[in-house]
A and B are shown apart, each in its own frame.
Chain A
Amino acid sequence: EDKVVQSPLSLVVHEGDTVTLNCSYEVTNFRSLLWYKQEKKAPTFLFMLTSSGIEKKSGRLSSILDKKELFSILNITATQTGDSAIYLCAVAPAQKLVFGQGTRLTINP
């Protein structure tokens, strides 16, 4: 059965800290790995990764995929209170996205 596991499940840090969120997966027919941010309502797209070792960057957020070790990390530097959210990792095997359980990130001022 396809499986996506995120860690930690919950993380509380101070504003300005750097955080690393982890996502490991076991899927057949891997196509891509996606990161989403969910605040109060709909998850919003952050990154899609298909190739190993190529970092994707958007402002203070960056992500990288290791297809040999079957994991991805999401880094957030100089965190702000607006980064508080649930971060979801999802993997696309054939035909659907399989989501992890999410990491709830809280940034304290």
Chain B
Amino acid sequence: DTAVSQTPKYLVTQMGNDKSIKCEQNLGHDTMYWYKQDSKKFLKIMFSYNNKELIINETVPNRFSPKSPDKAHLNLHINSLELGDSAVYFCASSQDLRGRGTGELFFGEGSRLTVL
């Protein structure tokens, strides 16, 4: 039974399209995150939500919009996809107070997005 699951695992699409990645965690954690890992394997935080409330919004283009319908789900919608958006997107969760990120992060398996 997967703790943090994200779909789809692979996504190939054309520039200009809109796409979504979904994430669900069954660990009962309060905080969920989206991280982007580029081709050099550098993991960078994009967003963090604590109990459906946005806590962290890094310098991310506003074409990226996260949505948290409840504390177990955090989805990522991307509008007008660009070549530079190609990366692996990791969802993660942790049991933190107010998303302070002091504890262990549990990662999903990643969604590899390729924009052509």
Q: Is A48 on the interface with B (CB-CB < 8 A)?
A: yes
Q: How far is the CA of A32 from the CA of B94 in the complex (A)?
A: 14
A41 CB contact (under 8 Å) in B48, B99, B110 = B110
Q: Tell me whether B104 and A95 are in contact (CB under 8 A).
A: no
A88 to B37 Cα, complex, angstroms: 12
Best-surrounded residue of B42, B43, B48, B56 (most CB of chain A within 10 A): B43
Let me know if B107 and A42 touch, CB within 8 A: yes
List chain B residues, Cβ under 8 A from A102.
Answer: 41-43
Task: Judge if B53 is at the interface, Cβ distance under 8 Å.
Answer: no
Q: Tell which of A32, A38, A42, A104 has the most Cβ of chain B within 10 Å.
A: A42
Give the size of the chain A interface in residues (CB under 8 angstroms).
24
Q: Which of A49-96 contact B (CB under 8 A)?
A: 86, 88, 90, 92, 94-96
- Tell me if B115 counts as interface (CB < 8 A to partner A): no
Q: Is A43 among interface residues, defined by CB-CB distance under 8 A?
A: yes
Is the C-beta of A7 less than 8 angstroms from some C-beta in chain B?
Answer: no
- Check if A96 sits within 8 Å of B101, measured CB to CB: yes
For the complex, what is the distance from the CA of A44 to the CA of B106, rounded to whole Å? 7
B109→A96 contact, CB < 8 A: no
A99:B44 contact, CB within 8 angstroms: yes
Q: Is A3 an interface residue (CB 8 A)?
A: no
Given A42-B107, A96-B56 in contact, is the A101-B40 Cβ separation under 8 Å?
Answer: yes
Q: Smallest CB-CB separation from A98: which chain B residue?
A: B45
> B55: CB under 8 A from chain A?
yes
Q: CB-CB < 8 A to B33: which residues of A?
A: 96
Chain B residues positioned under 8 Å from A88 (CB to CB): 43
**A86 to B107 CA separation, bound complex (whole angstroms):** 15
B residues near A, CB below 8 A? 4, 33, 35, 40-45, 48, 55-56, 90, 98-110
Q: List 23 A-B contacts (CB under 8 A).
A: A32-B102, A32-B103, A42-B4, A42-B107, A42-B109, A42-B110, A43-B105, A48-B104, A88-B43, A92-B101, A94-B100, A95-B55, A95-B98, A95-B101, A97-B101, A97-B105, A98-B45, A99-B43, A101-B40, A101-B41, A102-B41, A102-B42, A104-B41
